[in-house]
Amino acid sequence: MTQELTELGVAAIRGGVAKGDFTAVEVAKAFNANIAAAQEALNAFIVATPEKAIEAAKAVDARRAAGETLGKMAGVPIGMKDLFATKGVQTTAASHILEGFKPEYESTVSQKLWEAGAGMLGKLNLDQFAMGSSNETSHFGNVVSPWRRPDSNAALAPGGSSGGSSAAISARLCPAATGTDTGGSIRQPAAFTGITGIKPTYGRCSRWGVVAFASSLDQAGAMARDVTDCAIMLEAMAGFDPKDSTSLDMPVPEWTTNLSAGLKGKKVGVPREYRVDGMPAEIEALWERGMAWLEDAGAEVVDVTLPHTKYALPTYYIIAPAEASSNLARYDGVRYGLRDLPDGANLQDMYAATRAAGFGAEVKRRILIGTYVLSAGFYDAYYTQAQKVRTLISHDFMGAFHEVDVLLTPTAPSAAFALGENVDDPLKMYLNDVFTVPASLAGLPAMSVPAGLDAQGLPLGLHLIGKPFDEQGVLNAGLAIEQRAGFAAKPEKWW
């Protein structure tokens, strides 16, 4: 029974609990057991909170017994990326500088999920301050993907920064998890581990209580086994928040109710600029299959152009570090978190020692880049110019959306790579985001759907980008691909 329960997704768990096929407590216990068995091998969780999951499950079972209305996520235990503040539970952003920090408040997104009946299985590991594409920059050690290449024991990257979320869902440690996406940190790890992940329109989910990386780009989203589960979870997470000045004051649509894989009358754009040099033939072939699947669903596939796409990655790696250098200035050893105070040190010495000890190498690299591009002599040459190019990239998308309803691209330029393979080559690591960054710069909804396996049996994803506020169009196209791809692969258990 335990094994069967952990094979269920959000919709199936919610439905089973509501019908009385099993209790929410039984579900929570099953996932708690899986986490305990896998933690040493996968390192997906920084902190496990089995008691929180049981407590929430008992509350749901009591509500059902009393005949009360159950929430959208009733009985579903989830993983919470350790970027979301959780009251009384350590929140570190996978950094040493925040190690031991227990907030006195709850993030808006997590609060909405608890109110919808979800329970917390624990805080998921990630790249430190969400900076990374492989989950190798965490102070608490690498997350290891549950996937393996055939005839190889090499540990693979689960993607980043939401690698703990992707690994946990793929390994059946949780049915769904929160993620955050700044330049692809939901979509790329989803592709690497054979799950589904959606980044909504910028502002759709509140950023209040989420540790900031780049404030004009960061957006919370849902990661789960399939499109329907993502839609259910996103409905529970989204909504206007007066505490977040960037929050969209718009009603949350009923995405789940309106899911449809029929795309008759819709146009799907294929950006010619995404056909990058050196892209593996199998990713190109999967992309072509994706086009055929959407045509089979009734859509018309047309070529479009996004001429400024080639500038997206360098633009992102100016804007994101600039905002990070500003956001991370608050970690100084004065108010909370780590304080390194050498004997005889003055205030400046304490700042320097605390930040040197508390930040990892990748975080320091991005702070330095960001501080450089914001400095007096270079602000106009780099940061101002990058913002202008960002506007041009956004205009490209708006032009394309006059012709088409949704865009189809690959999610990542490769399948999962081995841990350590790219760690000493920051530029190669940054190229993992080449397909996902443009949508982030434009604030558009986008999602990755698992669509096939490469020659080594590792998952590959297809990527859909929609118009502003049109999560429904992205979800519907994703459902059409999901139904036709029939992706049912899961990692063979070795842990």
- pLDDT, tens digit (0-9, with 9 covering 90-100), for 45-85: 999 999 999 999 999 999 999 999 999 999 999 999 999 99
The confidence band for 337, taking pLDDT boundaries of 50, 70 and 90, is: confident
Residue pLDDT, tens place only, 248-291: 999 999 999 999 999 999 999 999 999 888 888 999 999 999 99
> Would you call 185 a catalytic residue per the annotation?
yes
User: What is the predicted pLDDT for the residue at 489?
Assistant: 97
> Would you call 161 a catalytic residue per the annotation?
yes
Q: Mean pLDDT for the chain?
A: 96
Of the residues 110, 138, 165, 185, only one is catalytic, namely 185
pLDDT at 2 over 90: no
User: What is the predicted pLDDT for the residue at 1?
Assistant: 58
Q: Is 118:73 a contact under the CB 8 Å cutoff?
A: yes
The confidence band for 110, taking pLDDT boundaries of 50, 70 and 90, is: very high
For residues 103-111, average pLDDT: 98
Q: Is 211:91 a contact under the CB 8 Å cutoff?
A: yes
User: What is the predicted pLDDT for the residue at 259?
Assistant: 98
Of the residues 133, 134, 138, 161, only one is catalytic, namely 161
Residue with the two structure tokens 């790890």: 189
Closest to 169 measured CA to CA, from 150, 142, 146: 146
Closest to 481 measured CA to CA, from 292, 304, 274, 233: 292
Of the residues 52, 72, 81, 112, only one is catalytic, namely 81
Closest to 409 measured CA to CA, from 315, 312, 268: 268
Q: Is 164:44 a contact under the CB 8 Å cutoff?
A: yes
Residue pLDDT, tens place only, 416-460: 999 988 777 777 777 788 999 999 999 999 999 999 999 999 999
Residue with the two structure tokens 């320097």: 352
pLDDT at 127 over 90: yes
> Would you call 394 a catalytic residue per the annotation?
no
User: What is the predicted pLDDT for the residue at 151?
Assistant: 86
Residue pLDDT, tens place only, 149-175: 998 999 999 999 999 999 999 999 999
Residue pLDDT, tens place only, 359-375: 999 999 999 999 999 99
